[in-house]
Structure 1
Amino acid sequence: MNLVSLNGKRRPGSPALVLVAHGSRDPRALSTVKALMERVQALRPGLPVHLGHIELNEPRLPDTLAELGTGDAVLVPLLLARGYHVKQDIPEMAAEARARTRVAAPLGPHPLLVETLYDRLLEAGWRTRRDSAVVLAAAGSRDPESKLDTNHTARLLADRLGVPVIPAYASAATPTVQEAVHTLAAQGRHRVAVASCFTAPGRFATQCAEQSPWIASAPLGAHPAMAHLILHRYDQSLTIQVAREPELASA
């Protein structure tokens, strides 16, 4: 089962790619996700790309999957760490659909995610100084694996910037952004930026940015690296599936 041609493009009949967004009441979130979707489509012409939301926005994921009938699809969560949505909500919605689906890994942690965070900080005015540091602001989750993933992203960003990076959360986990800023100030880091580890604008991203004592980067949005990361997760999911098939055949 080889789904990749010699020139690296997907062959006809490849599973559809379904972007799974959380959803937000902020109208900027939907327009941002659609712009990201367009970037993905431009990078992989001929690949069917669809959008489904877990809540709050249309189309909802179950409706998107219903339109696919019994076709094949890879669901790529536009989420940045493991957590309840990745482990429970999305698989449960997929299991109820007639389509043959597989759920890809969340977008983080990954170097392409870190590259986007870095570029967004530069756009916001980041300059490395002896007393500078970063708070990586994320949504937060009670799932311990979510915190592990965010910690990993923070370490990768710290390596990229060469300054301390402390993860902080908008809800469900600690520390808060304000607490992280105070911790860094106590360490002599008085020029603290907030890196917005959110896919799109929304309430959490806005609240975290408002707590920055210096600059706050924009959400990840439709950055080119994010489109490449989505396709990487899509391809990765198919590679894992192909690797499993010989195992099943020999079982």
Structure 2
Amino acid sequence: MAPVLLAVAHGSRDPAASASIRRLLRVVRSLRPELTVRCCFLDVAQPSLAQALAELSGRQPILVPLLLGTGYHIRVDLPAALAAAGLPPARLAPALGPHPLLAEALADRLTETGAPADAPVVLAGAGSSDPTALADTARMAGLLATRLGRPVTPAHLSAATPTPHQAVAALQAAGHPAVALATYLLSPGFFARRAATTPAHWTSAPLAAHPAVARLVLHRYDQARAATELTAAA
């Protein structure tokens, strides 16, 4: 029996955020209907990770973080939760980003806004005090730039600079009055509302249930499952 895909989202007080995560996982299930897919949250929303692990009734999970970068949750919280449950570290998949499939989703979301193909782009990530997470956002900006064929400026909605407001303003001051903002978030909520307040002419929606994100969730699951099987065989 295949391990359960236990998707671990950040969690939010905004019910629209949880709803968007559940829509994403419905797409994941449609792509691989034979796989058991469950969801939990690190904060605020329910079920918690501890609850979800307790409800597996002995079935082994693969934890797939629905997180876009390798920050504190990936490096500390999730490995600690696995250790507390007596599960090996290999059962934790990498963060979703950075990855070319996210560049595909981001490019599609920008196209949906009607932004022209030559508009300068700012990538608005959630932000972090963790330099690894900031580096991941910068790498994602590079992947999106490759996808779009034009430069992309990374920015951060919290804890670091430049902020999206600063990045958009800098591009406008440099002679680009019409700037596009790529919202590098999975779900609606506080940060998405903040991203929508910049003076950018076009602001994309969060990635949510984009099919490329669903394919990436399954790719990360497959990566971790292969690592687990390799460890078991060693």
Q: Shorter chain as normaliser: what TM range? A: over 0.9
Question: After superposition, what is the alpha-carbon deviation per residue over 1:87-116, rounded to whole angstroms, capped at 9, x for unaligned?
Answer: 112222222225667110011011111100
Q: Give 2:139's match in structure 1, choosing from 152, 155, 170.
A: 152
Normalising by structure 1, report the TM-score: 0.88
Structure 1: where are the runs of 5+ without partners? 1-12
Secondary structure in 2 matching 1:191: coil
Supply the distance in 1 between the matched residues of 2:73 and 2:199 (Cα, whole angstroms): 28
Question: What is the correspondence of 1:94-173 to structure 2 with a 5 Å cutoff?
Answer: 94-97=82-85, 102-129=91-118, 132-173=119-160
Residue 80 of structure 2 aligns to a residue in which SS? helix
Provide the secondary structure at the position in 2 that maps to 1:76: strand
Question: How many residues get paired?
Answer: 233
- 1:17 — aligned with what? 5
The 10-residue stretch of structure 1 (227-236 or 162-171) with the greater mean CA deviation from structure 2: 162-171
Residue 200 of structure 2 aligns to a residue whose secondary structure is coil
Please give the root-mean-square deviation of Cα atoms over the aligned residues, in Å. 1.5
Question: How far apart are the structure 1 equivalents of 2:57 and 2:80?
Answer: 17
Which 10-residue stretch deviates more, 70-79 or 236-245?
236-245
| Closer/same/farther in 2, CA of residues 157 and 184 from structure 1, 3 Å limit | same
SS at match of 1:82: coil
Q: Which runs of 4+ in 1 moved over 4 A?
A: 98-101
Report the Cα distance in structure 1 between the residues aligned to 2:98 and 2:231, rounded to whole angstroms. Answer: 24
Q: Which residue of the partner structure matches residue 166 of structure 2?
A: 179
Residue number in structure 1 paired with 2:209: 222
- Of residues 222, 226, 232, the one that matches 1:239 is 226
What is the CA distance between 1:35 and its match in structure 2? 0.7
Residues 17, 75 of structure 1: 8 Å contact kept: yes
Question: Cα deviation per residue 1:131-186 (whole Å; 9 max; x = unaligned)?
Answer: x2111111111111111111111011111112221111111111111111122223
Gaps of 5+ in 2: none
Q: Residues 98 and 240 of structure 1: is their aligned pair in 2 closer, same or farther, counting only changes over 3 Å?
A: closer
Equivalence map 1:45-84=2 (5 Å): 45-84=33-72
Q: Which residue of 2 aligns with 1:27?
A: 15
Rg larger for: 1
Shift of the alpha carbon at 1:71?
2.2
Q: Is the 8 A contact 1:72 1:100 kept in 2?
A: no
Q: 1:204 aligns with which of 191, 200, 207?
A: 191
Relative contact order higher in (CA < 8 Å, ≥ 6 apart): 2
Q: Percent identity?
A: 47
Mapped pair 1:40 → 2:28: yes
CA distance in 1, matches of 2:128, 2:226: 29
CA contact (8 A) 2:169 2:199 kept: no
